[in-house]
Chain A
């Protein structure tokens, strides 16, 4: 098999759970992790006689997304019933949109190394989520939790413009960054706030017609999107090269076994019998309303990145790193408000702080180290009051115990020794203990320089200034 002879064609359908206070058509609150069926009222349960009332907040969230990707906005928003039976779909239909989706054609730009590519967005529409079926709680019964039933989803459908798993992941990351910057979703993939279906097909590079596609359902992490698509492209190419045909079908990605398997074929596909939802009247969206949303749109990642590069003289990569999400960007700017070097701020946030966050399995909005801490640590380094290793140690202490940076430096005795005499005394000690190595260094074995600096640092528990040690060593060598 050779990928060179084949061209993958991929389109994504991303379901974003909108961060509204209440559900799309009911006043039930939305909170992840509540006890089963405690966030479902008579509307969410689909009791006889209940009626939906549209949540205006969901409309404004969808409009923000539409404006952010420069999409056409529908003047009229019509909801439709999508009919199918499933135990966690209380009404036996989902209120969704078919014609007149709130967001029409738009596009986003993704970065691939130093190239970029425009990916078309076909549409984005509002719909309500279903509940959850739980099959492993009881031995003989399935359980249903309707807390999620009726929560607001924005389904974002891309054009089949993506040509690799890598591009698909970049696109997904882009959507994630847009919705979190807009504040319309928490983007939490592990809690299901973003889920994705991928339509995958392959064709010969010069074929005009697209190949038969399969739909991969419900992939809930960036990693699985990549793996599922890679597997599926590979599977399709193997089938085709074996002379088999691809069957149009829905496939499920099994993350444990890293493979996709058939769920249902086109013949078994549901006829959803869409028709306009008679319980809701069409919503009109005025030009004023759209302009208002445009005016109040927050700074989006690309623009913010551009600004960071210009105002803070960050490199493209560094600017990219701190605009990865809204929380990191605002953390970064808050650190800068204490007048520290932007480059140091990037390094400390995306290096040591991120390592600490990963180690503690949390994210920057939950960080126990605040921007002021980081800024003060950087200031102390810049003023040569503490050494790099001491700063790292300080960060860990702040994380686990909290406290004020200045006090902690004193308490932990982390003040850097920049007194030349004192350091020279220790350096002399090290030289006399390691005469042989000193001679080698003298005769040109440069890499031993680090050894001596390291020994001094060890003796001073890291509180000596490495610059000072280096300079003193140079003096001694030239003598």
Chain B
């Protein structure tokens, strides 16, 4: 049955519908594969029995012609999404004992659409990291080369899709946490427009930047999955009250594309292989009829510093609730309230999380607020206007996803060097724009991604372009 797990989501839906195979078969196949590839460390929890039970129910629904859109499709959720009565750790010791009493909207929507949750995927602690090495549960291995990093923070989700451990996986992206691991693992990952997917029940890192998305085998699969995850949610005040487009349909329509290439970004690419791969990908699209146009994003070079003020600032407040009082890790050695706070947080958080809390606390402190936080907000607005300007001329913008392919685990020890992993992905988060990464070649024998950024709520357009590219190439294919 191992061929079932290689099928695309599209083919799995078709196969289940015409009863070529059952959800029980496909679910068991994935569960077996998860066991076989346990050493990849993709999952923090696996719900074996429950998945099997749900698969039987799904098969009944299919038999009764009552199948929901994703009926019986086995998927995985990043362990940042709360699921009722399930351990939700966010990759941290702090939450290693946290059983959520409620469910995230992302889980509820996909559950309602009929998907089966096989388990919850490993991730960098509180989504802070670009290599999956900050997880309390140990790093994930890149399925293509186990010495290498799967990227982060959604490394577990990207590796799980690449290793055929689930049909698709949910993930989150604050500064590149979907796109960078998708690039490293040779899979497709999309971060939709900020506010397109509800953040209710998704553990916050940086509230104004966090957005849930999908990692899948290809653009078509991602479009289907994203369609059922999107929508307005009154429980999230930043959620967009806009109609959900039929991405499944839109991904396959015949659309004209004008692709903007940001001159200043491409000129500064240091790695020749990355630049060549990018140019090659663009020429493939150009030959297919897409128009290519140079654009200017003059302020994009300030993205990284602005991000590393805003994200830590928000994180310093978002993570204040982990105080050992109501839930989560509480230190054993406590003789005062001060001890309870300091020791619980010292023991419960890993080093990178602490780094960011310190940076954020500093940036918001009296006397520094204007110099850092306020300035960062101004840069953020400038970057937004740069994009607005560019989208008057083009329908999507292309850049590399990352300045390198996957690196060896343990090879980057300087935090700032690690932060630079996000240099091409951060601008879309700052502007709140939809962006995706699709495999577009290899660098040092490892996959590298092409990033496509769309205008607000135009997920359909970049997915359409990505699908077009995947029809013309086979970079995204794997067994």
Contacts and interface: CB of A to CB of B under 8 A. Distances in A.
Contacts of A50: 200-201
A438 interface: no
B320 A280 contact: no
A85 B345 CA distance: 12
A281 B26 CA distance: 43
B313 A45 contact: no
Interface string B184-224: 00000000000000011111101110000000000000000
Contacts of B327: 45, 47-48
B98 A93 contact: no
A266 to B, nearest CB: 12
Interface in A133-162: 144
A45 B320 contact: no
Contacts, number: 102
Interface stretch (A233-241, A270-278, A293-301, A354-362): A270-278
Interface stretch (A51-59, A63-71, A388-396, A416-424): A51-59
B102 A47 contact: yes
A323 B365 CA distance: 48
A46 B328 CA distance: 12
A52 B327 CA distance: 19
A93 B319 CA distance: 10
A86 B71 CA distance: 46
Counting chain A residues whose Cβ lies within 8 A of the other chain, the interface size class is: 20 to 34
Contacts of B365: 271, 273
A87 interface: yes
Given A46-B321, A48-B98, A273-B365, A85 B341 contact: yes
Interface string A74-92: 0000000101010100111
A42 B327 CA distance: 12
A33 interface: no
Interface string B330-372: 0000000100010000000000000000000100111001000
Contacts of A279: 204, 207, 237-238
Contacts of A93: 317, 320
A144 B101 contact: no
A273 B312 CA distance: 13
B235 interface: yes
B95 interface: yes
B208 A278 contact: yes
A47 B320 contact: no
Contacts of A45: 326-327
Nearest to A27: B235
A47 B101 contact: yes
Contacts of B341: 85
A93 B361 CA distance: 13
Contacts of B325: 87, 90, 144
A85 B320 contact: yes
Contacts of B320: 83, 85, 91-93
Interface string A253-285: 000000000000000000101110011110000
Contacts of B323: 85, 87, 92
A53 B237 contact: yes
B82 interface: yes
Contact of A49 (B82, B313, B373): B82
Contacts of A280: 237-238
Contacts of B204: 48-49, 279
Interface string B90-134: 100001001011101000000000000000000000000000000
Contacts of A87: 323, 325, 337
A49 B208 contact: no
Contacts of A278: 206-208, 238, 314
B235 A51 contact: yes
B90 to A, nearest CB: 7
A48 B207 contact: no
A90 B207 contact: no
B321 A275 contact: no
Most chain A Cβ neighbours within 10 Å, of B321, B327, B369, B373: B321
Nearest to B102: A42
B207 A273 contact: no
B364 A273 contact: yes
B237 A54 contact: yes
A51 B237 CA distance: 8
Given A273-B365, A279-B237, A48 B317 contact: no
A48 B88 contact: yes
Given A81-B317, A83-B364, A144-B325, A49 B203 contact: yes
Contact of B235 (A53, A81, A273): A53
B234 interface: yes
B83 to A, nearest CB: 10
B236 interface: yes
A92 B82 contact: no
B369 A275 contact: yes
Contacts of B235: 51, 53
Interface in B48-106: 81-82, 88, 90, 95, 98, 100-102, 104
Given A273-B364, A278-B314, A46 B237 contact: no
A144 B98 CA distance: 20
16 contacts: A47-B101, A48-B88, A49-B203, A51-B199, A51-B200, A51-B236, A51-B237, A51-B238, A83-B316, A91-B317, A92-B321, A275-B313, A279-B207, A280-B238, A281-B237, A281-B238
List 5 tightest A-B contacts by C-beta distance, closest first.
A92-B320, A273-B364, A278-B208, A278-B207, A49-B201
Given A49-B202, A53-B235, 7 more contacts: A49-B81, A51-B238, A52-B237, A53-B236, A54-B237, A278-B238, A281-B237
Interface of A: 42, 45-54, 81, 83, 85, 87, 90-93, 144, 271, 273-275, 278-281
